[in-house]
Amino acid sequence: MPNCSYRTLISALLLSLVTLLSGCSTLLARDPLRIELVGIEPLPGEGFEARFAIKLRIQNPNDSPIEFNGVALDLQVNNQPLLSGVSAQNGQVPRYGEAVISVPVSLSAYAALRQAWSAAGYQNGQGLPYELRGKLANGLFGTRRFNDLGTLNWPQRPTP
């Protein structure tokens, strides 16, 4: 019989701990980060793979800095996966501040062919919808996910 009260006590303590942690998480409500795709630069590739560096501008509209120790992202263009990458870089976005980070990404030959096929209906690469999804990692409770939607308009060729 004493074993049963011990289990009840442990269960009550665990329930209290979970309730306390969930209550604390609501006190840390933060505004979402603003993430913008600001550039794509070529990097040396290997074989049938192309490599790029995606530059992201991260704006922090919160009263406390955001620290991160890893970045992961996926870029879809025209509702098709195009680029993905990860980086173990460390950094900080200051309170009410911004930072520009660069994440190396890969483009497989298959993804490039799929994009070329699906983009054939767009006039000169104008108006291609994109979605950028990712996360800034910082442990169990510090990871911040982000999402950015927009339209890619490739530069026009100069007319002679």
Taking alpha carbons only, the member of 33, 32, 35, 30 closest to residue 103 is: 35
User: Residue 104 corresponds to which tokens in the numbers above?
Assistant: 């190396």
Taking alpha carbons only, the member of 74, 37, 83 closest to residue 58 is: 37
Extended beta strands in the chain, E state: 34-46, 49-60, 66-68, 71-77, 80-87, 91-93, 97-108, 128-136, 144-152
Instruction: State residue 95's pLDDT score.
Output: 94
Instruction: State residue 101's pLDDT score.
Output: 94
Q: So where are the chain's domains? A: 32-152
Q: How many CA atoms lie within 13 A of 29 on its CB side?
A: 3
Strand partners, 134: 73, 146
Cβ-Cβ contacts under 8 Å for 98 (sequence gap 6 or more): 57, 58, 59, 60
Q: Which residues of the chain are modeled with pLDDT < 70?
A: 1-4, 18-29, 117-126, 154-160
Instruction: State residue 26's pLDDT score.
Output: 45
Give the span between the Cα atoms of 138 and 136, in whole angstroms: 7
Helix (H, G, I), strand (E, B) or coil at 11: helix
CATH of 32-152, one of 3.40.50.300, 2.170.190.11, 2.60.40.1820, 3.60.15.10: 2.60.40.1820
pTM score: 0.68
Sort residue 50 into left (φ over 0), alpha (ψ -120 to 50) or beta: beta
Which pLDDT tens digit goes with each residue over 144-154?
888 888 887 76
**In one letter, which amino acid is 38?**
V
